[in-house]
Structure 1
């Protein structure tokens, strides 16, 4: 029987960022991936320290941004590429009230690092009230990140392209088929509902659609524009626009109403013709208190869950993968705000 330090089940941001912690600490592991595109893999890849509806920030935003930059530099050390695209978000104001709210919020200390006080105007789009730039924002090259890391795993025989079978897991002797392990980490997103060990964790699906469009007149520079949704180029002729939020329509099919919502949203500020080329959707695992769910199984001490990253999967996945690793390997307690045990109180 082959022995590894860790088994990872999942193929989204939580799984890959935790795998990075294992690589940097020279731990052996196997990662299970069914090969289906997770919500992470069809995400916009936004790296954004600001809630752009209310112009507020969130818990540990600066620490998470700093951690991501450092981590992506480490990953570049073995893939040879850095996946951070420095194209700051430009928030298009709906009206003068939003413009003035942005100005007031930019004087708040915790937001002053993120909200640029100098308004500007973008060419080729309707923005009569101007736009505000989100400093320290960027986006991840999502396809490059996942493709390169999975290639790296496969080349080193870390990757198991198969569905994880819970019936073959024996927690009492830490074995799964011909593998023995020290720890197993379940990073399954909404698939956790099928996991008999962690199916009760309170994650709620949030369905998101995005479209890829061909613009009749391309934007003059590589920026990320945002009014209701994000617009940015993904290659020479194609732009990403999305994504929506829906907690009601949970079927695994395209919702035409969501597609129409996206078309209407883009038409609000892009005054020229465009053509929808692709439609994608995924299910984000969200939590009521907007914190990830991380922790150890109550009975099986070698089983862990890493879930509930929500719409900030990149930042949450990167930052809290280190917290989970330090908890397992060095006994450093998890922050109460993310600990699975908070739901037992």
Structure 2
């Protein structure tokens, strides 16, 4: 029997950022990873403090950005890799009214650090009304992050590559197979619907598609372009374009209407030919009030959940991993805004 402080079930942003908190605090743990590509692992990796439809920001945006940059430096200290890509978002304006709204909002206290007042014109794409740059925006090297951290945890003996079997938990003795545990944390995204302890939490699937395309003519490097969706270069001469949002078509197959939507969206501002090389989709776990769900099981006091990260998985997963750790280890109450008890 091996004793661990934590069992973590899942391998997305919530799981890995929480594992990072455990490393920092010298806690022992194992991560159960089924090895399927989670929604986190096919995500765009956009780090963005602004809601680009309405030019607004969100709760704790600056704090989340700052905490992420600090955490990625800490992670670099043991993986040897920097996963932050300085690739600021340039939002293409649809018309003059959007330019005016951007400028007006850029004087707001909550937005002045994020909305750059100087507009840019980009070569290679249609942007008749120029673009607005989002200060402090960036991207994460998603593949690098997951490959690097999972390899590190595997080398350290923290990673167990198998599907977690709920029926093997001995609740009374806090034992799972040959592990005895102090706490168990479920970070399963939409997989939580199969979890007998937390299947009733208020997360809903939101299906997102993205395409990987080959562009016939290059676009400016080191930036992320946003109109309807995000466009940016990947390492292998392909570009990422996406992702869609769909709460209705929830089958586990490619949705042709989503692919058409992406083709049309890219054609609107990219005037040259492009070829779709790959199509990917995943299911984001979203919550009605757009905030994550964290907390303790009502009956089993060492069972916890960390879910509902939605489309801001990197920022939510990183920042609230510390909040959850402080709740479990230091009895610091969870903010009501993210507590499982709010529903």
Which residue of structure 2 lines up, in the alignment, with residue 46 of structure 1?
Answer: 46
Structure 2: distance between partners of 1:217 and 1:329: 53
Across the aligned residues of Structure 1 and Structure 2, the Cα RMSD in angstroms comes to: 0.6
Which residue of structure 2 lines up, in the alignment, with residue 21 of structure 1?
Answer: 21
Which residue of structure 1 lines up, in the alignment, with residue 137 of structure 2?
Answer: 137
Structure 2: distance between partners of 1:326 and 1:63: 16
Which residue of structure 1 lines up, in the alignment, with residue 33 of structure 2?
Answer: 33
Which residue of structure 1 lines up, in the alignment, with residue 147 of structure 2?
Answer: 147
Q: 1:236: how far off?
A: 4.5
Which residue of structure 2 lines up, in the alignment, with residue 260 of structure 1?
Answer: 260
Structure 2: distance between partners of 1:248 and 1:160: 34
Structure 2: distance between partners of 1:68 and 1:172: 37
SS in 2 for 1:109: coil
SS in 2 for 1:228: coil
Structure 1: distance between partners of 2:305 and 2:281: 24
Stretch deviating more after TM superposition (92-101 or 265-274): 92-101
Contact 1:94-1:129 within 8 A present in 2 as well: yes
Which residue of structure 1 lines up, in the alignment, with residue 55 of structure 2?
Answer: 55
Which residue of structure 2 lines up, in the alignment, with residue 91 of structure 1?
Answer: 91
Structure 1: distance between partners of 2:267 and 2:171: 54
Structure 2: distance between partners of 1:74 and 1:192: 29
Cα displacement string for residues 75-127 of structure 1 (whole angstroms, at most 9, x for unaligned residues): 00100111010110000001111111111110111100000000010000000
Cα displacement string for residues 233-290 of structure 1 (whole angstroms, at most 9, x for unaligned residues): 0025100000000000000000000000000000000000000000000000000011
Unaligned runs of 5+ in 1: none
SS in 1 for 2:71: helix
- Paired residues for 1:1-345 under 5 Å: 1-343=1-343
SS in 1 for 2:110: helix
Structure 2: distance between partners of 1:281 and 1:220: 26
Q: 1:221: how far off?
A: 1.6
Structure 1: distance between partners of 2:303 and 2:171: 8
Q: 1:220: how far off?
A: 3.2
SS in 1 for 2:182: strand
Structure 1: distance between partners of 2:29 and 2:233: 36
SS in 2 for 1:261: helix
SS in 2 for 1:305: strand
Structure 1: distance between partners of 2:5 and 2:255: 42
Structure 2: distance between partners of 1:143 and 1:235: 10
SS in 2 for 1:111: coil
Q: 1:305: how far off?
A: 0.2
Structure 2: distance between partners of 1:137 and 1:305: 29
Q: 1:222: how far off?
A: 2.0
Contact 1:10-1:32 within 8 A present in 2 as well: yes
Q: 1:29: how far off?
A: 0.4
SS in 1 for 2:99: helix
Structure 1: distance between partners of 2:269 and 2:105: 24
Structure 1: distance between partners of 2:137 and 2:83: 14
Contact 2:221-2:233 within 8 A present in 1 as well: no
Structure 1: distance between partners of 2:326 and 2:222: 38
Taking structure 2 as the reference length, the TM-score comes to: 0.99
Contact 2:89-2:225 within 8 A present in 1 as well: yes
Structure 1: distance between partners of 2:331 and 2:46: 32
Unaligned runs of 5+ in 2: none
Contact 1:294-1:339 within 8 A present in 2 as well: yes
